[in-house]
Structures are given as structure tokens and as C-alpha cells.
Structure 1
Amino acid sequence: MKAVTITENNEIEVKQREAPQASVGEVLVKVQAAGMNNADVMQKIGGYPAPVDASADIPGLEFAGDIVELGPQTERFSLGDHVMGLVSGGAQAEIIAVNERFLMSMPDSLSWQEAGSFPEAFITAHDALATKGNLRPGERVLITGAAGAVGVAAIQIAKVIGAQVVASVRNPDTREKTKKLGADEAIAPDEMQDYGLYDVIIELIGAADFEANIDALRYGGRIVCIGFMSGAEANVDISKLAFKQAAIYGTSLRKRPKEDKAIAIRAVEKEILPFVENKEVIVPLYATYPLDDGKKAYDEYNQKGKFGQIVLVNE
């Protein structure tokens, strides 16, 4: 099979690799589309090694495709079913073996490209907002880096919950796009305190604005840290957290225990997929590349003004 591969020199090449086999509880999926995420780019440059149970050099955390083989002791799906899945790596290939616990049925409302870009972003956003952040109807949430894949997912999920959404986006051209997606306000990062206070802050950028985040929290507020592209170390005045009865949480899907990951998937199946099926929640795409152009996709991943997801497709 063909697969996007990270070389020893931290470059991207599309190579022929041996196709995986389905073991107990697993199915083989012919991958039609696989989303790209910040974690893939960080793995490429050596900043985010794959877990021990994932491919060390084939990136890709999410995909959509059709089941072509059922392994022993599988019962949730049938041959030919269209599914989308969340894995710890290896999705940017033609075939993937995955435990059926980490699959969801693909809604008819989504294209292959949209479905391949759904799992990582939307499960991450839902986990951050609903599970860690405990966002409630009527509360005010700030989403930093709101133009990326997790950001656009978080905007929509926060609106499903019934919250007031403030989207922080550096590029002026993409701010209006976040409002069309449901954000009540779209602001520049340096305006965040002008539009506070916030019950929940979803931090997708990193440590750069962390002190300002704490200042902008309402009493009892929660910060949920997901991204750290701007840095992972911050000076925190813990007295401010104490006085505000505030809390800081971190969340990551890739390295969490498998059972916890399966629970997060089931929660999205129950609480978000019905809105996807009704097209009340959509999956914005920025660009689509053939798998053979994987190197080009990685080279162009961090373009300014990117809104939504980049996806690789098998042609």
C-alpha cells in the first residue's frame, strides 16, 4: 500500500509499505480520506512522537473509508460499511487496521473528505467543551485560534450546547467566516479582555496569552488547554486562580487510555452526530490533496488565512 511517511531527516515521502492485518477486535478499512492536524505536523518535525502502539513514521489521526475485512471477534460493523475513525497514527495511507471501538458510522450528509476530517477535530472540541470545560447553556466561551479545524468544530459544538461564543482569530478575513459558522463575536487576539469575562476559555494556540486568559476568566471559570504551537510553558499566578475559584485542564486524545478514547467517541456519536446528519453542524474544508501529494500538503499546511481542514484523499 501507499502511505505518507516521515523520513529520518524529518521530510515527507509517499512510499510503498506493507499493508496491515486485522487482529482480534479489528477491521481493515480502505481509507478514502484522511484529515491533517497540528499533531501530524509536529510529529514530522520531531516534536510529538507517536505513542508506542501507533506507527512511528506514518502520520494521520483520523480517516473515513469502507470496511474491506472483518477480524476475529468483531460485531459492530459489516463488510462495505462506510465509517470514520480516530486512531493514534497511521491513517494517511491506503489501508488501516483499527479496533472497531474507535469507529463511527459515517453520516450520509458528509462527503468522504468531510468525514475524513471529522473525528479528531470534533471529538477533541466536544471533549474540551462538554467534558473538561463543563460548558453550560448561557455561559460565555472564548475560543482562541478559532479558524483551525478544532476551532471551527468548537464554535459549532458550543452553539449546540447553547453558549455565547467569542472566536479569536488573527486574520481579519477569516473572522467573518467564524461568525457565519455561529460565533456571536469574532475578535482579534489582543481584544480578548475587551469582550470578557468568560466562563470557559478553549486555548488552541498555547502559552503566549495564558496570563491574559486568567485575567479574562469569570469567577469559577475554566481554561482548557489543547494546543501549544506558540509555546508550552507559561508563568501562572496561582493566587489569581485561587481568588477566582478557577481551574485549568489539559486534554489530548492521542495519548489517553484507549477506553477513555472510546468513551469520548461514543459521546460524540450520541450528542453531535444527529446535528451532523441534519446538516446543522458542518465540516469546513480548506484544501484537498491526493495522497501522492502528501509532501505538498505538509509544505502548505501553515498557510495564513487557512479556515477549516486540509484533507488527503486516495484517488
Structure 2
Amino acid sequence: MAPSLPSMMRAVVQTAPGTASVESVPIPKVEYGSALVKLEASLVHSNLSPIFKADLDYFKLPYPAVPGSFGIGRVAAVGPDATALREGDFVIVSAFIHSRDDPSVNIIRGVLAGPTPASQHLYKTFARNGFFAEYVTAPLETIFRLDEARLFGSPEAGGLGYIPGELVVFPANVICYAAMRGISLQPGERVVITPATGHYSAAAVDVAAALGARVIAASRNAAGLAKLKETYPGVVDTVQLTGDVKTDGAALSAFGPVDAVVDVSPPAATGAPNFAAALSSLRDGGRVTLVGGRGDETLPIPYLKAMMSSLTIKGSYMYAREDVEACIRLAEAGLLKFGKRAGHVVHAVYTLDDFQEAMDRAVETAGPGSIIYIKP
């Protein structure tokens, strides 16, 4: 560890579901294959409260653990085997970690420790420290360098003028990008995104627009849809869903043949008819990607429709390293937009001491482009 670094840091330490406090803890050691990042912003999304409380058993972590699932900051120290990262680099840190000797074992720090002894072991040894902290250590392969001058520099100097906290939505972009890459979404294709007004689904609209697709955003939220259409005029069309499959399917089909459907339905949408309506709008040879969290035991997929129309239906879980790198390139090119360019609003910035208030506020302000983050 670099000699200029302190030996202790402040972090939110969770000892049980829904129970945590800010404590002074040792800064994680930098070893082979890792780097230490001083965090500038840590994501607080609207789904974090049920995760923190472990409302579902699979959200329980090997406590004690530091919560938080994504961060952006500056490299403070690197392991002796680092060949690309340097101290001072501005980076994003992914929470999605694969076991190095068995890639089928994976975890999401701050969210999922996995159901197997192997994944639990990986979490305990590699990811117990999450992002609600001043510093975080991470495997080198989960750290991605950013063009600081381009992303955060002034427009007069050729920059895009973002602030670091505006990029905390980035993990949702990458998850949706990976899903769209999985079905080979092409520029000019027409894609239905449903629903389209939540944290992840609005990010899907941002990504589809960046890829040059023609977007049909489908949701019950009229205000959220209006905001998306205002943000992407001429790119995004909208359909306010009624809950009637035939009516909604006809409305989605009215814009022309639909090439693809991206379903980002959350667990709360289990059993909802939006997916069936979107499916009914697909042209022959259409593709579907499932990237949400619905709990349906079966999906409303008409067998004959899928067979006779030669539909492709594919699930997509998280992302690969190349997906992160591709999204960074889209962002640095100015195609994948953040902040005001994407209609995003930073509602509040909190300190570590106010982490509980931050989670509550994230629930209150949930919606397309809503940003809450912690600046440690």
C-alpha cells in the first residue's frame, strides 16, 4: 500500500439485514491482482432498500459486510502485477465478479453472495467490502479506466462536462447493452422496451438510442413516457399501456414492424400483461431478450406464434468485460448520454453518515433518470 495512504477509513458496516452503522475500519490491503480506489461517488438506487433489508432470502450477505454495488473514483494504489492501471487514473469499478478459477461462480458485491458454498466463499474473501466507504479494493479485471478529460472536461475544451456522480447509472446501461448485444440489435431497427420508466428500463432507452435504434417505450407511467420522448425527439415513440393485451399490442404495432423486444420488467411486474403485448407486436424473425426480474413460473409465449414466426427468445444476465468497455466507448464518443443530456436529475448527494436517508430518498424519487448518490 502506498505510504501516503491512511491506515483507516470510514465505511458503512452492515451486521444484519437492515442493520448498519458508520465505523472506522482498516483500509483493504492491495495485493496481487487488485487495486485500491478512492471513491468519488457511490450509487444509491431505488432497489437498494429491499436489498439492504434482505426482503428476499437471496439478498442476505455473509455479514459483517459493507453495502453498496457500484462506485466511481480515482486509483489510490495498484498491486505489483498491474500493467495498465496507474495511481491517479479515474475509473469505474464493477460489482460483478467471477471466480478466476471457475467463471461459472459469480457474485454481485453489495447485492448477491450467491447460493453455493463456492460463491459464498468468493464473497467472504473477495467482496466483503462494498462501495459505501471511502475506499474500495477490487480485482483488476473489474476496474475500467475513463478518459477523464473527455467525460468531465469543459465543453470549451472538448469535454462533455459531466460530474462523476452523473455516471453512477452506468451499471444499468451496461446490463441493458449486454442484453441488446445478445440479440444483435442493429442501428435503425425498431425495438420495444417495456416497461420503460424505471431505473434499469430507462437506461435501456438510453442505450438503444445510443445504438441508433428506433425506440418504442411502453409503460403505464404517462409522465415518465413524456419525459423520454422529450429527451429523444424523433427517436423515441411511446405507448401508455392499458393492461389489455390486444389493445396494447395493436398500439405497439402501429409504428411499423417491430424487430426486437427488450423486457426489463422488475419483480413487481410478475404476471403483468406488458410482456405478452410486446411479444404480439413482433415481426417474423423477431428477437426477444429478457433482462428483468419477473418471478413468473411460466411466460405468456404462444407456442405457435413463436414457432411460425421463428422468434428468438433469449435471457441475459449481467455482462462481460467487453460490454463495459463498449459502453465506455459509447459514453466517451458522446453517443451514450448522461446527466441533463439524457434527462437525468441528481436529486440529492449524501454523506456516508446519511446512508439510510439516501436509501429512503431513492425510493421516493424513483423514476427514469433519477439519481441519488453518496459522496464518501
TM-score tier after normalising by the smaller chain length = 0.7 to 0.9
Change (3 A) 1:203 1:68: same
Given that 2:227 and 2:343 are in contact with CA atoms closer than 8 Å, whether structure 1 keeps it comes out as no
Total equivalences in the alignment:
305
1:195 aligns with 2:195: no
Aligned with residue 132 of structure 1, among 139, 162, 182: 182
Q: 2:133 — aligned with what?
A: 93
- Which residue of structure 2 aligns with residue 294 of structure 1? 355
* Length-normalised TM-score, structure 2: 0.71
Deviates more, 1:15-24 or 1:199-208: 15-24
Partners of 2:173 and 2:203 within 8 A in 1: yes
1:205 aligns with 2:290: no
- Residues in 1 aligned to 2:49 and 2:18: alpha-carbon distance in whole angstroms: 10
Distance in structure 2 (CA, Å) of the matches to 1:56 and 1:203: 35
Gaps in structure 1 of 5+ consecutive residues: 254-259
Aligned to 1:270: 329
Q: Gapped runs of 5+ residues in structure 2?
A: 1-8, 96-107, 110-129, 153-159
1:20 equivalent to 2:28? Answer: yes
Q: 2: CA distance between counterparts of 1:68 and 1:123?
A: 25
Corresponding residue SS for 1:306: coil
Q: Calculate the TM-score normalised by the size of structure 1.
A: 0.83
CA distance in 2, matches of 1:299, 1:276: 32
Residue type of the partner of 2:206? Q
Distance 1:184 1:149, change over 3 A: same
Residue 87 of structure 2, aligned match among 56, 73, 79: 79
Deviation of the 1:295 alpha carbon: 1.1
SS in 2 for 1:152: helix
C-alpha contact 1:5 1:15 (8 A) present in aligned 2 = yes
Q: Cα gap change, 1:205/1:303 in structure 2, threshold over 3 Å: closer, same or farther?
A: farther
> How far is the alpha carbon of 1:240 from its aligned partner?
2.4
One-letter code aligned to 1:307: P
Deviations 1:11-57 (A, max 9, x none): 454444443222212111111101134664453243374699x9874
* SS at structure 1 position matched to 2:363: coil
Matched, 1:160 2:210: yes
Greater CA drift, 64-73 or 183-192? 183-192
Percent identity of the aligned residues? 23
Q: Which structure has the bigger radius of gyration?
A: 2
- Larger displacement relative to structure 2 (104-113 or 133-142): 104-113
Secondary structure of the residue aligned to 2:73 is strand
For residue 309 of structure 1, report the CA deviation from its aligned partner: 3.7
Cα distance between partner residues in 2 of 1:48 and 1:119:
27
Query: Alpha-carbon deviation of 1:165?
Result: 0.6
Q: Give, in whole Å, the separation in 1 of the partners of 2:299 and 2:292.
A: 17
3-state SS of paired residue (1:249): strand
Task: Give the deviation of 1:65 after TM superposition.
Answer: 0.7
